Structure 1
Amino acid sequence: MKIETLSGEVEPVLDAGLGALRTERGNLPLESVDIRAAVTGLSARVTMTQGFQNPFDVPLEATYVFPLPDRAAVTGMRMEAADRIVEGVLKERGQAREDYATALAAGQRAALAEEERPDVFTMSVGNIPPGERVTVRLTLSQPLPYEDGEATLRFPLVVAPRYVPGTPLDGPPVGAGTQSDTDAVPDASRISPPVLLPGFPNPVRLSLSVDVDPAGLSLDGVRSSLHTVTTDGRTLRLEPGERLDRDFVLRLRYDAGASCAVSGETFTVTVLPPAGPAVPRPRDVVILLDRSGSMMGWKMVAARRAAARIVDTLRGGAEGGDRFAVLSFDHEIERALPGGLSAAADRARYRAVEHLARLEARGGTEMLRPLEEAVALLSDDGDRDRIIVLVTDGQVGNEDQILGRLSLDGIRVHTIGIDQAVNAGFLGRLAAAGAGRCELVESEDRLDEVMDHVHRRIATPAVTGVSLEMPSAVPGSQAPARPGDLFPGVPLVVRGRCTAPGPVTLRGVAADGSPWEQRLEPVATENPAATAIWARAHLRELEDRYSSGVAAAHPDVERIIDTSLRYGVLCRFTAFVAVDTRVVTDGAPAHKVIQPVESPAGWDTTLAANTLGAPAPAPGGYGAPPAAPGSYGPPPAPGQAAPAAPAPGAAPVPGSYGAPAPTGAPAPSGYGARPDAPGSYGPQPAPGYVAPPAPAAPPAGGAPGGPARGFVHARARMPRHEPARAVDTRSQVAEELRRLRAARPASEVERRQVLADLGSRLEVLVPGEFTELAAALRTCDDPAGPRGHALDELWDRTLSELAAYAEPSERKPFWHRRPR
Structure 2
Amino acid sequence: MMMNCCGLLTSNKEAVPLKSVEVELEVRDHVATVVSTLNYENKEDKPLEAVFVFPLPGDAAVCHFSAKIGQTEIVAEVKEKQKAREEYDDALSSGQQAFLLEESDQSPDIFSLSVGSLRPGESASIRLEYVTELAVQADEGLRFCLPAVLNPRYQPQGSGGSGGGNVQMTSVPASMVPYSLSFSARVSSPHPVSKVESNCPLDALQYFNTEQTQATVKLAAGHKFDRDVELLIYYKDAHQPTAVVETGQTSAKPGSLMGDPVVMLSLYPEFPQAVMSLVASCGEFVFLLDRSGSMAGSRIKSARETLLLLLKSLPIGCYFNIYSFGSSYEHIFPESVEYSQKTMEEALKKVEEMQANLGGTEILEPLKHIYSQPCIPSQPRQLFVFTDGEVCNTKEVINLVRKNSGSHRCFSFGIGEGASSALINGLAKEGGGHAQFITDTDRMQPKVMQSLRFALQPAVIDISVEWDLPKGVSVTALSPPITALFQGQRSLVYAQLTGQSSEAAEGCVMVKYSLAGHPSQNQLHFSLKPAEDTGLTVHRLAARTLIRSLEMEGRESGGEQEEGVKKKVVELSVPSGVSSAFTAFIAVNKGDGKVLQGPLVVRNVPAPRMMACSMGRFNRSRPPGMPTKAMAHSSPSYSPGMVDCGIMGRSVQSCPTGMPMMAMLHSYSSYLLGKSLLPKQPPRDPLLQLVSLQKASGCWVLDPALADALGKTSREVEKPKPASVNQEVWATILALIWLHGFKMDAQEEWELLAMKAVSWLRAQNAPCVIECVEAANALLGFSVQKDALGL
Which string of whole-angstrom CA distances, capped at 9 and with x for unpartnered residues, describes residues 241-269 of structure 1? 32334221111122221233322321122
When residues 476 and 695 of structure 1 are mapped into structure 2, their CA distance, relative to the original with a 3 A threshold, is: farther
- Whole-angstrom distance in 2 between the partners of 1:12 and 1:521: 61
- Whole-angstrom distance in 2 between the partners of 1:150 and 1:493: 16
When residues 677 and 147 of structure 1 are mapped into structure 2, their CA distance, relative to the original with a 3 A threshold, is: closer
1:530 maps to which residue?
538
Contact (CA 8 Å) 1:230, 1:238: kept in 2 or not?
A: no
Which residue of the other structure, out of 380, 383, 395, is the alignment partner of 1:385? 380
1:273 maps to which residue?
269
State the 1:284 CA deviation.
Answer: 0.6
Partner AA of 2:178 in structure 1? P
2:566 maps to which residue?
557
- Whole-angstrom distance in 2 between the partners of 1:17 and 1:565: 37
Q: Normalization by structure 1: what TM-score?
A: 0.68
Which residue of the other structure, out of 415, 420, 423, is the alignment partner of 2:417? 420
2:195 maps to which residue?
221
Q: How do residues 13-412 of structure 1 correspond to structure 2 at under 5 angstroms?
A: 18-21=10-13, 27-116=15-104, 117-148=107-138, 149-167=140-158, 169=160, 180-181=161-162, 187-188=165-166, 190=167, 192-197=168-173, 199-200=175-176, 203-214=178-189, 216-233=190-207, 234-254=215-235, 255=237, 256-264=239-247, 265-275=261-271, 276=273, 277-281=276-280, 282-316=282-316, 321-336=317-332, 338-362=333-357, 363-377=359-373, 379-406=374-401, 407-408=403-404, 409-412=406-409
Aligned partner of residue 442 in structure 2, secondary structure:
helix
Aligned partner of residue 532 in structure 1, secondary structure:
helix
2:523 maps to which residue?
519
- Whole-angstrom distance in 2 between the partners of 1:221 and 1:462: 33
When residues 245 and 544 of structure 1 are mapped into structure 2, their CA distance, relative to the original with a 3 A threshold, is: farther
State the 1:556 CA deviation.
Answer: 0.4
Partner AA of 2:659 in structure 1? P
- Whole-angstrom distance in 2 between the partners of 1:437 and 1:676: 29
Aligned partner of residue 370 in structure 1, secondary structure:
helix
When residues 14 and 112 of structure 1 are mapped into structure 2, their CA distance, relative to the original with a 3 A threshold, is: closer
State the 1:57 CA deviation.
Answer: 1.1
Partner AA of 1:440 in structure 2? F
- Whole-angstrom distance in 1 between the partners of 2:496 and 2:4: 62
Aligned partner of residue 484 in structure 1, secondary structure:
coil
Aligned partner of residue 522 in structure 1, secondary structure:
strand
State the 1:367 CA deviation.
Answer: 0.6
State the 1:461 CA deviation.
Answer: 3.8
When residues 588 and 94 of structure 1 are mapped into structure 2, their CA distance, relative to the original with a 3 A threshold, is: farther
When residues 17 and 357 of structure 1 are mapped into structure 2, their CA distance, relative to the original with a 3 A threshold, is: farther
Partner AA of 2:172 in structure 1? L
Aligned partner of residue 389 in structure 1, secondary structure:
strand
Identity among equivalent positions (%) equals: 25
State the 1:548 CA deviation.
Answer: 3.7
- Whole-angstrom distance in 1 between the partners of 2:518 and 2:155: 47
Aligned partner of residue 322 in structure 2, secondary structure:
strand
State the 1:456 CA deviation.
Answer: 1.6
Partner AA of 2:596 in structure 1? D
- Whole-angstrom distance in 2 between the partners of 1:196 and 1:253: 34
Which string of whole-angstrom CA distances, capped at 9 and with x for unpartnered residues, describes residues 88-114 of structure 1? 112222222222222212222211111
More helix as a share of residues = 2
- Whole-angstrom distance in 2 between the partners of 1:155 and 1:562: 29
- Whole-angstrom distance in 2 between the partners of 1:657 and 1:568: 31
Q: Is residue 2:547 matched to residue 1:545?
A: no
Which string of whole-angstrom CA distances, capped at 9 and with x for unpartnered residues, describes residues 662-719 of structure 1? xx9xxxxxxx98799998999xxxxxxxx99743789xxx999xxxx99xxxxxxxxx
2:733 maps to which residue?
none
State the 1:499 CA deviation.
Answer: 1.8
State the 1:402 CA deviation.
Answer: 2.0
- Whole-angstrom distance in 1 between the partners of 2:226 and 2:133: 23
When residues 522 and 288 of structure 1 are mapped into structure 2, their CA distance, relative to the original with a 3 A threshold, is: same
- Whole-angstrom distance in 2 between the partners of 1:43 and 1:572: 23
When residues 229 and 181 of structure 1 are mapped into structure 2, their CA distance, relative to the original with a 3 A threshold, is: farther
State the 1:167 CA deviation.
Answer: 2.5
Which string of whole-angstrom CA distances, capped at 9 and with x for unpartnered residues, describes residues 48-95 of structure 1? 111122232111111101111122211111100112111111222222
Which residue of the other structure, out of 427, 438, 441, is the alignment partner of 1:441? 438
Partner AA of 2:228 in structure 1? D
Q: Normalization by structure 2: what TM-score?
A: 0.70
Superposition CA RMSD, Å: 3.5
State the 1:154 CA deviation.
Answer: 1.6
When residues 461 and 421 of structure 1 are mapped into structure 2, their CA distance, relative to the original with a 3 A threshold, is: farther
- Whole-angstrom distance in 2 between the partners of 1:483 and 1:81: 46
- Whole-angstrom distance in 1 between the partners of 2:174 and 2:242: 48
- Whole-angstrom distance in 2 between the partners of 1:676 and 1:49: 28
- Whole-angstrom distance in 1 between the partners of 2:16 and 2:287: 43
- Whole-angstrom distance in 2 between the partners of 1:491 and 1:430: 17
- Whole-angstrom distance in 1 between the partners of 2:154 and 2:636: 16
State the 1:21 CA deviation.
Answer: 3.0
State the 1:14 CA deviation.
Answer: 5.2
When residues 78 and 487 of structure 1 are mapped into structure 2, their CA distance, relative to the original with a 3 A threshold, is: same
Q: In terms of mean alpha carbon deviation, does 228-237 or 326-335 score higher?
A: 228-237
When residues 676 and 574 of structure 1 are mapped into structure 2, their CA distance, relative to the original with a 3 A threshold, is: closer
Which string of whole-angstrom CA distances, capped at 9 and with x for unpartnered residues, describes residues 577-634 of structure 1? 111122344368521122122222xx3x27xxxxxxxxxxxxxx56xxxxxxxxx98x
- Whole-angstrom distance in 2 between the partners of 1:15 and 1:326: 48
2:486 maps to which residue?
487
When residues 385 and 660 of structure 1 are mapped into structure 2, their CA distance, relative to the original with a 3 A threshold, is: same
State the 1:439 CA deviation.
Answer: 0.7
Which string of whole-angstrom CA distances, capped at 9 and with x for unpartnered residues, describes residues 716-769 of structure 1? xxxxxxxxxxxxxxxxxxxxxxxxxxxxxxxxxxxxxxxxxxxxxxxxxxxxxx
Which string of whole-angstrom CA distances, capped at 9 and with x for unpartnered residues, describes residues 174-232 of structure 1? xxxxxx526xxx644x1x412225642x6211011001112x12322221121345433
- Whole-angstrom distance in 1 between the partners of 2:493 and 2:387: 27
- Whole-angstrom distance in 1 between the partners of 2:88 and 2:621: 23
Partner AA of 1:129 in structure 2? R
State the 1:448 CA deviation.
Answer: 3.4
Contact (CA 8 Å) 1:503, 1:520: kept in 2 or not?
A: yes
- Whole-angstrom distance in 2 between the partners of 1:587 and 1:283: 68
Aligned residues: 603
Q: How do residues 356-755 of structure 1 correspond to structure 2 at under 5 angstroms?
A: 356-362=351-357, 363-377=359-373, 379-406=374-401, 407-408=403-404, 409-461=406-458, 463-470=460-467, 477-479=477-479, 481-499=480-498, 502-510=507-515, 512-523=516-527, 524=529, 525-526=531-532, 527-528=534-535, 529-549=537-557, 552-581=561-590, 582-586=592-596, 590-600=600-610, 603=611, 605=612, 621=614, 694-695=658-659
Contact (CA 8 Å) 1:193, 1:595: kept in 2 or not?
A: no
Aligned partner of residue 609 in structure 2, secondary structure:
coil
- Whole-angstrom distance in 2 between the partners of 1:417 and 1:272: 24
Aligned partner of residue 193 in structure 1, secondary structure:
coil
